[in-house]
Chain A
Amino acid sequence: MRRFAIWAGLGALALVPVLLAAWSPYLAFRQPVYIVAGFAGIAALALMLFQPLLASLLLPGMSAARGRRLHVWVGTAVVGLVIIHVGGLWITSPPDVIDALLLRSPTPFSAWGVLAMVALFGAGMLALARGWIGVRAWRVGHTLLVATAVIATVPHAWLIEGAMEPFSKAVLLAAALFTLALAVRRRQVWRVVWRRRRLERG
């Protein structure tokens, strides 16, 4: 029962905002590539909700190995969706995306989006380099980068006047922050930093 409630709750948190956005009257006035770009961003945000839970094995009915494997797949999907998001927006209106990437956009949410994207790509590249770096650098680095990506996504998504329905968007953003905090607390990433300091001192 508890397992069902958790999965149903998470599914609703992730799917309801996407479905409400699909009903947006603005979509009627957009080209397909613009619609795809927008929904790639919304889907990436919805998937972000699950990533910390998969990483910290907080999802019921899932083995550690399966959770880790799924974390890699979902993480890859988020990176791919962000590439589609930015690429689709670029095709829709190149000067607006160039302004955003050069941090000279008039819209305040653009710089947050760029920060989130850079942090996300950094987290992904760190995952690729995992075999070459120490476990401490990996855990602290990956945690800091994904935390930056999630936190920067909040003002990015919130300030956009677009297809997403505001209330469901706010709930999803709050939930994404919550699962991030839950995972960071559970994994106690700061401990690897403290432990090293103690070792260096002793």
Chain B
Amino acid sequence: MNGSRTDRRRFLALGAGATLVTASGLTVPAQAAGLPPTPTMRGGANNYRAGAAIMERIGGGGFTMEGRVRRAGDGAPLAGRRIQMWAHTTEGHERDWESHGATLTNEDGLFVMDMPQIVPAFGQAHGHLAYDADEDGAFGGGGFETVFLRPLMSSPNDKTLFVDFVLTPA
């Protein structure tokens, strides 16, 4: 449970640092070197249903699942990578096909999915995300190791969740 918060904090710190560096006109390429990969979280793959369609919105939407996908080591943003997400929401259980959707990252490695509001289930308000190398292969990717995440929301009333993927080249 602390992992996701740490990741998020680390991401914010990194982002703030990167903004400062960019704004000041200084470039320090060495800073990103050694960016550690995101490990698969315990329970991350629970109720995963491989092969959800690429879509703009899951169900009626209202909750924003967003994040960034980067390469381990140099931290380069990864464009066009397929990320799947699912959760227990106001519209369905994790196992329901209607609760699953996938999207591709843009040129900055960012992804956004509009999905129904996540509701606490099995004791915690949490989402599920997957970078599945096999599924990504269909989109010209698949060159990275599969990662399953299970980030926690800091409050069940949150309307957004930011998730960081740092992938290891396979």
Contact = CB atoms under 8 A, between A and B. Distances in A.
Q: Do they bind each other?
A: yes
Given A26-B119, A29-B88, A29-B119, A107 B46 contact: no
Interface stretch (A6-14, A55-63, A89-97): A89-97
Contact of A96 (B41, B43, B119): B43
Interface stretch (B20-28, B55-63, B71-79, B120-128): B120-128
Contacts of A95: 43, 45-47
A107 B123 CA distance: 8
Given A26-B119, A109-B123, A160-B123, 17 more contacts: A26-B120, A28-B90, A29-B119, A92-B93, A93-B121, A93-B122, A99-B42, A99-B43, A99-B46, A105-B42, A106-B1, A106-B150, A107-B1, A107-B43, A159-B123, A161-B120, A161-B125
Contacts of A93: 46-47, 93-95, 121-122
* Most A Cβ at <10 Å: residue of B94, B121, B123, B124: B123
Interface of B: 1, 41-43, 45-47, 88-91, 93-95, 119-125, 150, 156
Nearest to A104: B42
A61 to B, nearest CB: 39
Interface residues of A, number: 23
15 contacts: A26-B120, A29-B90, A29-B91, A93-B93, A93-B94, A95-B45, A104-B42, A105-B42, A106-B42, A107-B124, A110-B123, A161-B120, A161-B123, A161-B124, A162-B120
B-side interface mostly: loop
A131 to B, nearest CB: 39
Interface in A14-51: 26, 28-31, 34
Contacts of B120: 26, 161-162
A31 B93 contact: yes
A14 to B, nearest CB: 22
Given A93-B122, A161-B156, A162-B120, A106 B43 contact: yes
Contacts of A96: 43, 46-47, 122
Nearest to A113: B123
A34 B92 CA distance: 12
Nearest to B41: A106
A80 interface: no
A108 B121 CA distance: 14
B90 A107 contact: no
Contacts of A105: 42-43
B95 A29 contact: no
B46 to A, nearest CB: 4
Nearest to B122: A96
Nearest to A108: B1
B89 A29 contact: yes
Contacts of B121: 30, 93
Contacts of A108: 1
Interface string A158-186: 01111000000000000000000000000
A106 B42 CA distance: 5
B47 to A, nearest CB: 6
A162 to B, nearest CB: 6
Interface string A100-116: 00001111111000000
A96 B44 CA distance: 10
B122 A89 contact: yes
